[in-house]
Amino acid sequence: MIEAVLFDLSGVLYTGTEPIPGAVESIQKLNKAGLPIRYITNTTRSPRGKILKRLQSMGFAIHEDQLLTAPVAARHYLIEKGLSPFLLIHPDLKVEFADLESNNSNAVLVGDAGSAFTYEHMNQAFRLLVEGVPLIAMGKNRYFREQDGLSLDAGPFVVALEYAAETEAILIGKPSPEFFRAALESIHAKAENTIMVGDDVEADVIGALDAGLQGILVRTGKYRSGDEKKIEGRAVCLDDINTVVEWILDQKTN
């Protein structure tokens, strides 16, 4: 039984700035079928409002309350714990955390900072971490696909900091079970009746399976041949979002 669907964004609905062919229509079909949908992303290069606008301008019918981002979850976490972070994040994302920054940082927050991952910034973060402040990561993804090829995500930089400071990051985005749980709670869906669809076999699919959800891997975005071996017998691997929607609608009527 499938009662709800969670979609990853980058690599599933679009690559770079281009929607996956047919994706807009497939989402429309799923909306018509009345299944609750949430979009959950570790993307940390843009604030939530901008991601939403970009999706809508590509033609996707997505409402604000359907979009859960790792930065929004990280913001809640920082406020709840009373933390003022040193921000090792993309300059475009700084607006989401500007009111939490202070001169006396008692945490390090890392996202996909892109070209802001300089030696100087990494070293500033490292110096705080060796003093014992917590390292908070909005994702540990290895890489993602841009229009011109694969690009380094936040993961390699998080691991470098963990290694240097001999610490372990607190992970906020996927595959953290709390992140999946927050999505399920927002639609009152049971984990075992919810499917997570993603192009990242580890953060999206294995993360979801470990949190008790069902999973589908798509062969678009960052998918690389052989990824499906990591989920053999636990989840299916389908060509793209269009095939996924057909598959889900089939299951629903059977």
Cα separation, 13 vs 20, whole angstroms: 6
Q: Tell me, rounded to whole angstroms, the distance of Cα 137 from its chain centroid.
A: 12
* Span from 3-11, 98-106, 207-215, 244-252 in contact with Mg ion (CB under 5 A): 3-11
Using the rule CB under 5 A, which residue among 6, 7, 8, 248 binds Mg ion? 8
User: Does the protein bind Mg ion through residue 112 (CB under 5 A)?
Assistant: no
Nearest to 66 by CA among 39, 36, 32, 28: 39
**CB 110 → Mg ion: shortest distance, Å?**
18
Tell which positions 40-99 bind Mg ion, by CB under 5 A: none
Q: How many residues does the chain have?
A: 254
Using the rule CB under 5 A, which residue among 68, 199, 215, 240 binds Mg ion? 199
Closest CB to Mg ion among residues 8, 112: 8
Closest CB to Mg ion among residues 75, 174: 174
Q: Which of helix, strand or coil describes residue 195? A: strand
* Span from 50-58, 97-105, 191-199, 243-251 in contact with Mg ion (CB under 5 A): 191-199
Parallel, antiparallel or unpaired: strands 170-171 and 135-137: parallel
Residue 237's contacts (CB-CB under 8 Å, 6 or more residues apart) are: 216, 217, 218, 219, 227, 228, 231
Closest CB to Mg ion among residues 58, 164: 58
Site string for Mg ion, 11-30 (x = CB under 5 A): x-------------------
Cα separation, 228 vs 238, whole angstroms: 10
Query: Which residue matches tokens 């300089």?
Result: 118
- Size, binding site for Mg ion by CB under 5 A: 4
Binding site for Mg ion (CB under 5 A): 8, 10-11, 199
